[in-house]
Amino acid sequence: MNSYVKLVLYSIGSLVFGPVLAIYLTFFGDFYTLSLKYKILETITDDWDIVLHFVAFWIGFYCMLSLLYECRKIKNRPPKLDWWQTEVIYQIYVRSFFDSTNNGSGDLRGIMKKLDYIKSLGTRVIWITPMYPSGGKDGGYDVTSLTEIDPLYGSMKDFDELVQQIHQRDMFLLLDFIPNHTSNLHHWFKESCKNDPENPYRDFYVWYPSDDKINPPTNWISVFGESAWTYNETRKAWYLHQFLKEQPDLNFRCAAVRKEIEKSMRFWLEEKNVDGFRIDAFKHLFEDKNFDNEPLVRGAGSNKLDYSGLKHTKTADQPETYELLSQWRSMFDEIGKKTNQTKALIVECTSELSAIGQYYFFNNRPNANFALNFQFCSLDENGVEFKPKNVKNLIEDYHRHLPKKCWSNWQLGNHDQKRVATRIGSENVNLANALNLLIGGTAVVYNGEEIGMQDLPKNNLTFDQCMDESGKKYGPKLFAEKSRDYCRSPMQWSGDKNAGFSLCDQTWLPVHPNYKFENVTSQLKCDDSHLSIFKNLVNLRRSPSFQWGSYQPVVVNHEIFSFLRKAYGFPPFLVAMNFSGSLVQVNLAISNDIAPRAYVVYYIKGTKNQMDTQLDYEVKSPLLTKNLKLNPHDLIILTWAATE
């Protein structure tokens, strides 16, 4: 064969085969095992052919290497993350945060006065609980209007100023939005109760006409444990309420309802320039239109059922719910394009993990930016114990159900849960905050968790002082076990009167008696306080490996929980924590992913005990990962040079 023909053929072969091989090796192969050069040269006998083939080979070889390099860069380049992914979300229970008017209740101007504190934590996204006018039965979640401000919290002028001040600080605002139900005092419901076929609000709620005033149309149970149906004499029909009877469910099969809810959303997103919503009680938006009974959970009796006694196949996670979410996402994206900034759509997800995929995608259409994850909220001394293997299982179970390329999130608690310090003990607060902030994905923090606030003691709240109707309905003997007031006590700012929350004589809920020594002011002065540690952890999570790197459990046993966060081209981080009450020695160098020699990034001392071994892990000091010692509730973060 002519040498020039061979040159062309080999050049084409090299240039074509090289890129193909490069792509293959990028994802499946080991480049260094390549012996192509020698196999080619062995077939060459002619001197002129040697030169031509040699040149052709190296041209192809160079192209292959270049493509290999570019393919690896593309595969491992840092993702472009949005603000709702990179920033920590700080949840504020408005009425308990800070009182600027000294009437005993927190308010919008109280939030304004504490914006610099919130930003100093490193938390740049604020989620505020409902500040709409309400019937006062469910902490603001029984709204009488979705486009106004409750005078208890201030005025619309106050809200506008709050938004302005948040944005001036390069921060973001999420509103709690309640679409599933309204208060029974809402004018929509008052109109809907009228037995008038021509009333435009007639179908705004879920009604079941019946002359039987005693037997509800289905066996459906409300979240708060009673029948989900209440009879209305005027309308001569039962109305549905999946929460309190004072919270009738809206009928989302009614086009006028969907239009009104969208109008309310647009009001806040477009006119008031809020940055997104946390959608409350999302899974309850639609119910079975045939009003069939729900099946019993195995072992549950048909008498005296509570919410957990039914499989909620008729009242939750109906297909229409996810279709509506897709429509909302389209609206959010449309508004985001107009404003040139993402409007975040975050939904409450108390469903089984098997349903989580539909919150992100439905019929190949994007839905929520993320669905709130409640896995860590189950950590409780009376539930899922705070043990390394339990934590590992909770994380892996969530990751297993989360669709690929969907964004994760974590939270330790909220205004409906016992505070994490009460559930797992104050000695574990730093470990829990580290898990929440460093596992990966968006971290959501309930105000007060940064200082390890605890629930109000049971004997510090009388029945007359109880503000939570869902707990109060159980009566004086049982309210203390059911009320959510205990996790909603006022924020502890200082050791001054009422913990610095208010100067009034009586706050809306009592202040925790430990406020004298557990407060923001005192913890700011201490380098190893919960607050100082929290701020340092938030700062650390801005590193690429914590921000978007892979998560890999390392050593997990009865005492130790450790994991590796690693982003290509950046230093990895190895986090190890001792859950036990004794000194533990552990070998973390169990795979090639763990360097034998590492450097200390951060060391958190656990509970102080005279019997503890004196450990002195200075930042940047080297240590061997095969021989690490940790005292009770210690946490250490290690790193080493990045490898490709």
Active site residues: 280, 348
Distance CA 129, CA 280 (A): 10
Residue 569, token pair as written in the block: 């081209």
DSSP 487: G
Type of residue numbered 459: N
Helix (H) and strand (E) counts in the chain: 19, 21
Distance CA 492, CA 203 (A): 46
Distance CA 565, CA 408 (A): 15
Residues pairing with 134 in the sheet: 143
Residue 212, token pair as written in the block: 């039987």
Strands 409-411 and 442-446: parallel
Q: Are 386 and 424 in contact (CB under 8 A)?
A: yes
Residue 446, token pair as written in the block: 């309930």
Q: Are 470 and 490 in contact (CB under 8 A)?
A: no
CA angle, corner 429, sides to 424 and 431, nearest 5? 100
All residues at 6 or more sequence positions from 307 whose CB lies less than 8 Å from its CB, including other chains: 221, 222, 223, 224, 225
Cα-based torsion angle of the residue sequence 89, 93, 98, 99 in order, rounded to the nearest 10 degrees:
150
Distance CA 278, CA 272 (A): 16
- C-alpha distance from residue 421 to each of 87, 277, 413, 428, 454 (Å): 23, 28, 10, 7, 5
Strands 560-566 and 550-556: antiparallel
Look-up of token digits 């599933």: 180
Look-up of token digits 């080619």: 40
SS3 242: coil
Distance CA 374, CA 94 (A): 21
**Phi/psi at 586 (nearest 5 deg)?**
-140, 145
Burial call 23-60: b when 16+ CB within 10 Å, e when fewer: eebbeeeeeeeeeeeeebeeebeeeebeebbeebbeeb
Q: Are 97 and 162 in contact (CB under 8 A)?
A: no
